[in-house]
Amino acid sequence: MGGPPEGAGPHCGPGYHGGVLKYLTAYSPTLQAKVQTLVDEGRLAEVLRARYGGVHDVRSDAALYDYTLELKNRHLRNASPVSKVAYDNKLKVIQHALGTHTTVSRVQGTKLKAKREIRIASLFRQTPPEFLKMIVVHELAHLKEREHDKAFYALCEHMEPAYHQIEFDLRMYLTQLDLSDEPVFTA
């Protein structure tokens, strides 16, 4: 009941967009069909584990701050300063591409100074290092580019050449997390 009719193609039917591939709707029907096959065969977690190893050790907010600042200093030295970086367990996973960047205005003496804060969804605390780097790169790129446009993604790729592949794999990972409570990656 409520699912796509028998024999419907993978990219039509009401069950599709709100279904297990909700994280992958921006990709081509061909790619989505490939992932759907992995889901149907119960092989998604296995494919992810074959592509990525263990989890990173950037566990605390302090470690995350250092990690983020190191990347910023290497690639975006002149961008606005970042005042705070933290894991946030209240962050809805896919809301604004998985992280948030906010500008907090504080009066310092007589001049108003904009400080940037970066929050990373807590699920990234226990992922392969590639996923963490991808999301931090995404948030850092927003220091310079507000919109998700060409310039934005060029900056992401400058910091992480495999950005697009990793984002796709991360979305497969999120798909798997919705399907099963079993951890995909372990320390």
Q: Which residues contact Zn ion (rule: CB under 5 A)?
A: 97
Question: Cα(169)–Cα(160) distance, rounded to whole angstroms?
Answer: 14
Phi/psi of residue 114, nearest 5 degrees? -85, 125
Rank residues 125 and 138 by Cβ distance to Zn ion and give the closer one.
138
DSSP letter at 75 equals H
Q: How far is the CB of 44 from Zn ion (least distance, A)?
A: 25
Q: Which residue, 86, 88, 81, 89, is CA-closest to 106?
A: 81
Rank residues 39 and 97 by Cβ distance to Zn ion and give the closer one.
97
Rank residues 38 and 97 by Cβ distance to Zn ion and give the closer one.
97
Q: Are 144 and 79 in contact (CB under 8 A)?
A: yes
Q: How far is the CB of 141 from Zn ion (least distance, A)?
A: 8
Q: How far is the CB of 148 from Zn ion (least distance, A)?
A: 6
Q: Which residue, 142, 165, 168, is CA-closest to 155?
A: 142
Rank residues 97 and 177 by Cβ distance to Zn ion and give the closer one.
97
Question: Cα(73)–Cα(187) distance, rounded to whole angstroms?
Answer: 28
Rank residues 149 and 182 by Cβ distance to Zn ion and give the closer one.
149
Q: Is 112 left (phi over 0), alpha (psi -120 to 50) or beta?
A: beta
DSSP letter at 170 equals H
Q: How far is the CB of 72 from Zn ion (least distance, A)?
A: 16
Residue with smallest beta-carbon separation from Zn ion: 97
Q: How far is the CB of 69 from Zn ion (least distance, A)?
A: 19
